């Protein structure tokens, strides 16, 4: 116990110096584990889509098709099913398959080398989803920002795959960066939107990133790199498709 305390105290004194007692660290570790499950990278796309669909927003074009909030319930359900398939069910099934085949040792993929294949699969799923929306769905049926979000996710996964050769970046931070970046790019197309959401997402991102440091899964540099890559990927996709 003494050795564990010294180890935790050394890490937190360098990364999060405001934590001082073992009791505080223990409680925060439990909370951080809960946050890690809630804001798991696989959950982020659906969370983001739900935010855009059910928080009021009026597009600058005033066209219903340009607003996630104003599209019909049937279209919302279709998008939720597609996002659920390509960004949650397919990746989860792939990770489970890789675990059973021995390609990865655990579902958390703590080892940097084990992340290459899962990230590559995620990149593939986002590219297929983007191609489906971009080239096969009729135009002006779903918001154009859907294309930007999916392209941004693909760019982010590609950048993460490249960066993962040298650094174990935080996939949780990457996901939160993509979420914040996607909302930022989408809100730039709106005339009216809830102004409290962006500050809230930045604060929430800071909490999630801190939780990964508390759990000793990543250091501050790995977390910040992941977040910046995620946000920048969405921003770049928005510029490409604007």
H/E run at residue 197: helix 197-214
> Could you tell me the residue ranges of all domains in the chain?
29-241
Q: What is the rounded distance in angstroms from the CA atom of residue 162 to the CA atom of residue 127?
A: 16
Query: pLDDT grade, residue 2 (50/70/90)?
Result: very low
7/121: higher pLDDT? 121
58's CB contacts (< 8 A; 6+ apart) are 67, 69, 70, 190, 191, 192, 193
Q: How confident is the model at residue 5 (pLDDT cuts 50, 70, 90)?
A: very low
Name the burial class of residue 209, with classes exposed (0-12), middle (13-18) and buried (19+) by CB atoms within 10 angstroms of its CB: buried
Across 22-34, average pLDDT: 75
Give the model confidence (pLDDT) of 135-162 as tens digits: 998 878 899 999 999 999 999 999 999 9
Prediction pTM value: 0.87
22 has pLDDT over 90: no
């Amino acid at each position: 116990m003494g050795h564990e305390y010294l180890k935790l105290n050394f890490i937190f004194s360098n990364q999060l110096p405001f934590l001082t007692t073992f009791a505080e660290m223990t409680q925060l570790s439990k909370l951080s584990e809960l946050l890690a499950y809630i804001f798991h990278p696989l959950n982020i796309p659906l969370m983001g889509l739900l935010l855009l669909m059910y928080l009021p927003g009026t597009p600058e074009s005033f066209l219903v098709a340009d607003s996630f909030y104003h599209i019909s319930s049937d279209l919302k359900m279709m998008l939720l099913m597609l996002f659920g398939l390509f960004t949650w069910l397919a990746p989860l099934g792939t990770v489970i398959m890789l675990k059973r085949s021995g390609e990865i040792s655990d579902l958390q993929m703590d080892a940097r080398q084990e992340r290459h294949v899962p990230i590559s699969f995620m990149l593939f799923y986002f590219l297929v989803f983007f191609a489906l929306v971009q080239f096969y769905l009729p135009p002006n049926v779903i918001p154009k920002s859907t294309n930007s979000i999916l392209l941004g996710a693909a760019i982010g996964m590609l950048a993460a795959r490249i960066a993962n050769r040298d650094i174990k970046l935080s996939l949780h931070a990457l996901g939160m960066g993509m979420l914040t970046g996607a909302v930022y790019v989408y809100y730039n197309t709106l005339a009216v939107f809830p102004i409290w959401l962006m500050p809230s997402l930045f604060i929430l991102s800071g909490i999630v990133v801190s939780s990964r440091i508390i759990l000793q899964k990543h250091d501050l540099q790995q977390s910040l790199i992941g977040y910046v890559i995620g946000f920048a990927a969405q921003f770049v996709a928005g510029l490409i498709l604007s």
